[in-house]
Amino acid sequence: MIRQGDVLIVPVEEIPATAEVVERENSCIILAHGEATGHAHKIKDQHAALFRDPKLMAVFLHVTGNGVAIEHDEHDTIIAPPGKHQVIRQREYSPGAIRNVTD
């Protein structure tokens, strides 16, 4: 399990068969856009693919090769290891509501 800001990446056994490929933006995989700064958690490497399962409302990452770098302007670059992972946006509790952590 690895974390970069508000993005948590957890290993999983399989990516659901119902998951659909998410297209790259400007040749990058975008794991999450930052609401506060506009900076994105992104992967430039071609050894990764992002999937979204609309039924589960979940996002998955498949990494091949030796792993891929996840970059963000305000965080250290981290390496996602080879394998299948679920990408989770972390949330925080506020007395008025549960909301996504802003990054």
Please tell me the pTM assigned to this model.
0.85
Inter-residue contact 23 to 50 (CB < 8 Å): no
For residue 102, what pLDDT is reported? 59
Cα–Cα distance, 89 to 100 (Å, whole number) = 7
Q: What is the pLDDT of residues 66-83, one digit of tens each?
A: 999 999 988 899 999 999
